[in-house]
């Protein structure tokens, strides 16, 4: 009995199910098969499919275009099912805020939050940012709030089951435990019938928010497991390596489908290659030259080749957007502000004596009051003022009221949000890019449309008017000026694109400049050519990507760089030695598994200065003949 037949049997028995499959097993294909069969067998019933990203939503909608199917991300699904119950939402937020074990906090000067706290607010809203005292919640709060409400209000469970007879979860391992509890525990309070199906792979659970252990639900009898053990993507050597890395008992084998991507014309599985390369020289150009000369790898072919690094920070310099990354991820003044606000929160949380100060006092005054210290016991302010560049940044904010500085927020996700987004998705929940970066993307996307000859689409997204031949000539010159920006700054290009009608400065950008002046003043001085490199990277047009971002992708040639950077969540040496913190080991093992299983042909893992013990383990995993020093 194949996987589809097993799943349909569980559905027929009114049993929830889990399809567990390793990388390359075709889980999404199975999900689509199940959805189509369920719609065919139950034409009067509605089906819901939730997944992790907007990209995945679009893919499933394209594969199954049917009026009975609704698809969305997890957060949108939850909010859509609770947002109309405003009375219950407000009561739940207050109850959670008054629960010392809850992660939801409402500032009420240390006093319990009264039942009428939200009476003056028309409705609670879900947005990209959190201002809970103003009735605005964000992504995490939607998860925690939904879990509480489905646990507390049975009528919500009844309504959900009435709405959807079938709920399927793609990439379940990335789903919050609270969501799994809603679907497998809380809605059981309702006597109505429905079936929950999960599709995914425990070994690809690489996000800290994901459900860690699905076996608990299996052991309780809440769900029946179906294993999918064939691999349709990977060559034989990669399958064997992946099996050595798995810890959950699933042992993959090549597909018995002779038309599977990893099969050759004669019906046998591709052999593939796996190499573990190490060196005392950290220069990756040496490695790239070696792979180019000895294996014919083309590092300009980003469709067939990917170099996987752990973080965007490690890629930024290679890809050429290091100055933008430094602004969004390492701003010293905003880090100082964040340290002060964290101190305030911690004092309140742990009942410590709070430092009394005037929120309207200047930032400089508040910094002096808090006297924050680093490990060297020096004042952070002293360190900042000792550096000329940092001093200039500090001078921009030192006289600004602390209450205003406190609102300034910088995070690298505002710059390099992992989700590729179309113009339609820009306004949807889940887009973390700030309005300045979104505007720069609009400029570059308009340029790209013109370059690729999509003139009608270009005209649709710009205010440019073509009424005569000369207009076309002028447009060509204006676009070329924006393509070959040379040393023009981001501010100069924004003004030029606005003046020429390529991308008009709108209310959102003007509001950003007005309200986030400090951030804008930093970004506007960066060369636009650096943003162009960021654009190329995020659009997948470079050979670089993060190890996290590649999940779900596949390439002929994959190079994995084992470099921890300054992360403590991963440790590649402990991965090979199989020791250290259990949680770090498990997290690293899963990430490495995901990286290795992206390849359809050839895999290379690079390690700088491994110990002898690491080299010995590499020989065990990769084969002695495949461990190479350069």
Residue 24 marked as a ligand binder:
yes
What is the DSSP secondary-structure string of 407-442? T----THHHH-SS---TGGGGSTT----HHHHHHHH
Q: Collapsing DSSP states into helix, strand and coil, what is residue 226?
A: strand
- The secondary structure element, H or E, covering residue 472 is helix 469-483
Instruction: Confirm if 533 and 321 have CB atoms less than 8 A apart.
Output: yes
Number of Cβ within 10 Å of residue 612's Cβ equals 7
Residue 249 marked as a ligand binder:
no
Residue 272 marked as a ligand binder:
no
Residue 242 marked as a ligand binder:
no
- The secondary structure element, H or E, covering residue 227 is strand 224-228
Number of Cβ within 10 Å of residue 277's Cβ equals 19
Residue 25 marked as a ligand binder:
yes
Q: Collapsing DSSP states into helix, strand and coil, what is residue 623?
A: coil
Residue 27 marked as a ligand binder:
yes
CB neighbour list of residue 422: distance below 8 Å, 6 or more residues apart: none
Chain centroid offset of residue 204 CA: 14
Rounded alpha-carbon distances, angstroms, from residue 325 to 70, 165, 371, 413: 37, 46, 28, 10
**What angle (nearest 5°) sits at the alpha carbon of residue 602, between those of residues 597 and 607?**
75
Chain centroid offset of residue 237 CA: 30
CB neighbour list of residue 105: distance below 8 Å, 6 or more residues apart: 97, 132
Q: Collapsing DSSP states into helix, strand and coil, what is residue 268?
A: coil
Rounded alpha-carbon distances, angstroms, from residue 91 to 15, 85, 158: 34, 10, 20
Chain centroid offset of residue 602 CA: 26
E strands within 81-141? 125-126, 136-137
Residue 552 marked as a ligand binder:
no
Number of Cβ within 10 Å of residue 214's Cβ equals 24
- Buried b vs exposed e over 291-329: b needs ≥16 C-beta within 10 Å? beeeeebebeebeebbbbbbbbbbbbebbbbebbbbbbb
In whole angstroms, give the CA distance from residue 187 to residue 180: 10
- Taking CB atoms within 8 Å and a gap of at least 24, the contacts of 100-108 are 102/144, 103/140, 103/144, 104/132, 104/141, 104/144, 104/145, 105/132, 106/132, 106/133, 107/132, 107/133
Binding residues: 21-28
Would you list which residues are annotated within the binding site for ATP?
A: 21-28
């Amino acid at each position: 009995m194949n996987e589809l037949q097993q799943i349909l049997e569980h559905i027929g028995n009114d049993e929830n199910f889990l399809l567990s499959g390793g990388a390359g097993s075709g889980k999404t294909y199975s999900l689509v098969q199940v959805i189509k069969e369920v719609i065919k067998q139950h034409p009067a019933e509605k089906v819901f499919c939730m997944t992790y990203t907007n990209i995945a939503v679009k893919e499933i909608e394209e594969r199954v275009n049917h009026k009975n199917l609704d698809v969305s991300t997890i957060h949108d699904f939850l909010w859509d099912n609770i947002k109309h119950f405003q009375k219950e939402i407000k009561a739940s937020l207050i109850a959670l805020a008054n629960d010392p074990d809850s992660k939801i906090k409402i500032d009420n000067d240390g006093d319990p939050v009264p039942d009428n706290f939200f009476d003056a607010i028309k409705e609670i809203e879900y947005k990209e940012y959190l201002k809970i005292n103003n009735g605005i919640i964000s992504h995490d709060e939607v998860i925690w709030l939904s879990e509480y409400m489905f646990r507390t209000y049975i009528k919500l469970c009844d309504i959900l089951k009435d709405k959807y007879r079938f709920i399927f979860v793609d990439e379940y391992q990335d789903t919050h435990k609270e969501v799994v509890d809603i679907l497998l525990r809380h809605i059981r309070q309702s006597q109505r019938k429905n079936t929950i199906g999960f599709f995914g792979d425990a070994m690809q659970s690489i996000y800290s928010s994901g459900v860690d252990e699905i076996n608990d639900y299996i052991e309780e009898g809440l769900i029946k497991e179906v294993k999918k053990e064939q691999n349709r993507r990977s060559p034989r050597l990669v399958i064997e390596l992946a099996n050595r890395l798995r810890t959950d008992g699933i042992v993959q084998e090549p597909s018995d489908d002779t038309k599977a991507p990893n099969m050759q014309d004669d019906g046998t599985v591709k052999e593939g290659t796996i190499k573990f390369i190490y060196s005392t020289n950290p220069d990756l150009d040496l490695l790239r030259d070696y792979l180019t000369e000895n294996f014919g790898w083309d590092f300009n072919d980003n469709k067939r080749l990917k170099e996987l690094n752990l973080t965007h920070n490690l890629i930024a310099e290679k890809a050429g957007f290091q100055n933008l990354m430094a602004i969004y991820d390492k701003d010293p003044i905003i880090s100082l502000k964040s340290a002060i606000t964290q101190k305030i929160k911690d004092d309140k949380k742990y009942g410590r004596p709070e430092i009394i100060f005037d929120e309207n006092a200047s930032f400089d005054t508040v910094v002096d009051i808090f006297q924050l210290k680093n490990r060297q016991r020096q004042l952070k302010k002293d360190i900042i003022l000792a550096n000329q560049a940092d001093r200039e940044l500090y001078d921009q904010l030192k006289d600004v009221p602390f209450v205003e500085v406190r609102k300034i927020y910088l995070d690298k996700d505002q710059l390099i949000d992992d989700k590729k987004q179309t113009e339609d998705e820009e306004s949807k929940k889940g887009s973390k890019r700030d309005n300045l970066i979104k505007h720069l993307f609009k400029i570059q996307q308009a340029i790209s449309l013109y370059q690729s000859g999509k003139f009608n689409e270009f005209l649709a997204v710009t205010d440019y008017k073509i009424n005569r031949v000369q207009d076309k000539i002028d447009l060509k010159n204006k676009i070329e000026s924006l393509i070959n920006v040379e040393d023009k700054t981001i501010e100069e290009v924004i003004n030029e694109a606005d003046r020429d009608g390529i991308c008009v400065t709108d209310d959102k950008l003007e509001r950003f400049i007005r309200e986030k002046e400090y951030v804008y003043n930093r970004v506007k001085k960066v060369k636009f050519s650096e943003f162009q490199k960021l654009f190329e990277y995020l659009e997948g047009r470079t050979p670089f990507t993060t190890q996290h971002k590649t999940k779900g992708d596949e390439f002929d040639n994959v190079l994995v760089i084992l470099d921890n950077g300054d992360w403590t969540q991963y440790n590649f040496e402990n991965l090979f030695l199989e020791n250290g913190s259990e949680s770090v080991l498990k997290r690293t093992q899963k990430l490495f598994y995901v990286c290795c299983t992206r390849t359809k042909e050839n895999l290379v893992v690079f390690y700088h200065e491994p110990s002898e013990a690491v080299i010995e383990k590499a020989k065990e995993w990769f084969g002695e003949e495949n461990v190479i020093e350069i």
